[in-house]
């Protein structure tokens, strides 16, 4: 008896996305008549789908159920710090991811992962609680994240682009941001700049690299004593500034690796009678909502949170559709407010990239 000819493969949503030159999530929104998508885009995608005789398999969607339309958002968790539950930047990033997931017809599962139980990152996928994972931050787990990629776990990472990386990451150009921050302080007259943050963490290391590059570009020798590796804990930043004020070395500016650290440093300066920016200039990183309301308002380096949320979701959905998901580096923006002095001379143009 002759074998039956193979059935042609069914057209997938990924095929429509490729032909329309849009993301899979945009196709999903168009076919589900999502209100946030423009009428013109919805019409174009629907006409393309109709011309190819594509239709959503409602029966298959019902069989999959809501559970398998869920994306896990996992983050490294330190019980003694509870940082991510209190950090406005990460709350805003989770919100941006949530908006992007809602737009693409997905729900979100929040998963906290302690350092000594990092394999927990894979558990929601392996137990069919989710279709894939967005991991917020690498910390010291780069090798373990590479191991997850080797295992075939579908995930993307918010974080730095690192050497020998086997996974897709979306992150800010931290080196560029560090260059922008320190360059602005130097152009405002600063010469002894404290770097407040832990360079053992990948993203902070890149901000520190940019900080050092800006000093070199302006002919200023860096002082290793001014790099203070504090954790992301505001009280630790405040205590570190108090120690510097009491014992030295002297400084005239602070570049903090996050806005929360910068605001804590400003509180320590105010308590000691130092004026910002007259005595000490201060700049942060992130541009959280509290930065603009500080006294004085905090100069900072803005990260594109909304762009990050959409990029993370789009790349995860692309991976799930069998497409290649390329890592992405998002630009940073210097936001100048009252905690720094205005440029006293034209600034240098930052290098296009740092290796």
pLDDT of residue 68: 61
pLDDT of residue 61: 45
pTM of the model: 0.78
Instruction: Please provide the average confidence, as pLDDT, over all residues in the chain.
Output: 87
Q: pLDDT at residue 72 above 80?
A: yes
Q: Report the half-sphere exposure of 24 (CA within 13 A, side-chain side).
A: 22
pLDDT of residue 30: 81
pLDDT band at 118 (very low <50, low <70, confident <90, very high): confident
Mean pLDDT, range 330-340, rounded to an integer: 97
Highest mean pLDDT among 64-73, 82-91, 238-247, 317-326: 238-247
Integer Cα distance of 58 and 222 in angstroms: 62
pLDDT > 70 in the chain, percent: 86
pLDDT band at 353 (very low <50, low <70, confident <90, very high): very low
Condensed to tens digits (0 to 9), the pLDDT of residues 90-103 reads 999 999 999 999 99
pLDDT band at 335 (very low <50, low <70, confident <90, very high): very high
pLDDT of residue 63: 40
Lowest mean pLDDT among 1-5, 97-101, 183-187, 266-270: 1-5
Q: What distances in angstroms separate CA 182 from CA 98, 185, 213, one per listed residue?
A: 33, 5, 9
Asked, as a colleague might, if the bond just before 126 is cis with ω within 30 of 0, I would say no
Lowest mean pLDDT among 51-65, 117-131, 261-275: 51-65
CATH superfamily of this structure's domain 174-303? Response regulator (3.40.50.2300)
Length of the chain: 355
Both tokens of residue 70? 């869920």
pLDDT band at 262 (very low <50, low <70, confident <90, very high): very high
Q: Report the half-sphere exposure of 133 (CA within 13 A, side-chain side).
A: 29
Lowest mean pLDDT among 83-87, 178-182, 226-230: 83-87
Condensed to tens digits (0 to 9), the pLDDT of residues 33-68 reads 676 788 888 888 888 888 887 765 443 443 444 446
Q: Tell me 56's DSSP state.
A: -
Q: Tell me 340's DSSP state.
A: S
Q: pLDDT at residue 316 above 90?
A: yes
Highest mean pLDDT among 53-57, 68-72, 161-165: 161-165
Lowest mean pLDDT among 23-32, 188-197, 237-246: 23-32
Highest mean pLDDT among 18-27, 61-70, 336-345: 18-27
Rg (CA), the chain: 23
Q: pLDDT at residue 292 above 90?
A: yes
Q: What distances in angstroms separate CA 7 from CA 4, 56, 101, 130, one per listed residue?
A: 9, 19, 33, 30
pLDDT of residue 42: 85
Q: pLDDT at residue 5 above 60?
A: no
Could you tell me which CATH class the domain 69-172+304-331 is placed in? alpha beta
pLDDT of residue 329: 97
Specify the domain boundaries for CATH 3.40.50.2300 within the chain. 69-172+304-331, 174-303
If one counts every other C-beta atom within 10 angstroms of the C-beta of residue 353, the result is: 9
Q: pLDDT at residue 9 above 60?
A: no
Both tokens of residue 107? 């729900």
């Amino acid at each position: 008896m002759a074998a039956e000819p193979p059935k042609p493969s069914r057209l997938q949503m990924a095929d429509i996305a490729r032909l329309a030159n849009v993301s899979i999530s945009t196709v999903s929104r168009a076919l589900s008549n999502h209100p946030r998508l423009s009428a013109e885009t919805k019409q174009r995608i629907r006409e393309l789908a109709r011309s190819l005789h594509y239709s959503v398999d409602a029966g298959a969607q019902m069989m999959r159920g809501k559970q398998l339309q869920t994306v896990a958002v996992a983050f490294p968790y330190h019980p003694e710090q509870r940082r991510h539950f209190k950090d406005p930047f990460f709350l805003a990033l989770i919100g941006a991811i949530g908006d992007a997931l809602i737009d693409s017809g997905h729900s979100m599962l929040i998963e906290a992962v302690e350092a000594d139980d990092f394999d927990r990152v894979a558990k929601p996928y392996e137990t069919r609680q989710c279709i894939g994972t967005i991991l917020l931050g690498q910390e010291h787990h780069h090798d373990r994240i590479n191991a997850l990629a080797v295992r075939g776990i579908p995930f993307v990472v918010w974080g730095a682009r690192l050497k020998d990386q086997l996974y897709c990451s979306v992150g800010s150009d931290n080196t560029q941001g560090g260059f922008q921050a320190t360059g602005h302080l130097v152009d405002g007259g600063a010469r002894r700049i404290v770097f407040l943050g832990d360079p053992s963490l990948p993203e902070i290391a890149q901000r520190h690299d940019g900080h050092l590059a800006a000093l070199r570009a302006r002919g200023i020798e860096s002082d290793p004593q001014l790099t203070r590796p504090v954790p992301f804990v505001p009280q630790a930043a405040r205590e570190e500034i108090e120690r510097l004020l009491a014992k030295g070395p002297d400084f005239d500016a602070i570049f903090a690796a996050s806005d929360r650290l910068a605001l804590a440093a400003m509180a320590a300066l105010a308590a000691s009678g130092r004026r910002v920016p007259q005595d000490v200039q201060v700049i942060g990183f992130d541009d959280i909502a509290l930065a603009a309301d500080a006294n004085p308002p905090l100069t900072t380096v803005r990260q594109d949170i909304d762009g990050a949320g959409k990029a993370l979701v789009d790349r995860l959905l692309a991976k799930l559709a069998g497409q290649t998901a390329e890592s992405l580096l998002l630009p940073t923006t210097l936001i100048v407010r009252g905690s720094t002095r205005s440029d006293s001379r034209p600034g240098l143009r930052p290098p296009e990239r740092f290796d």
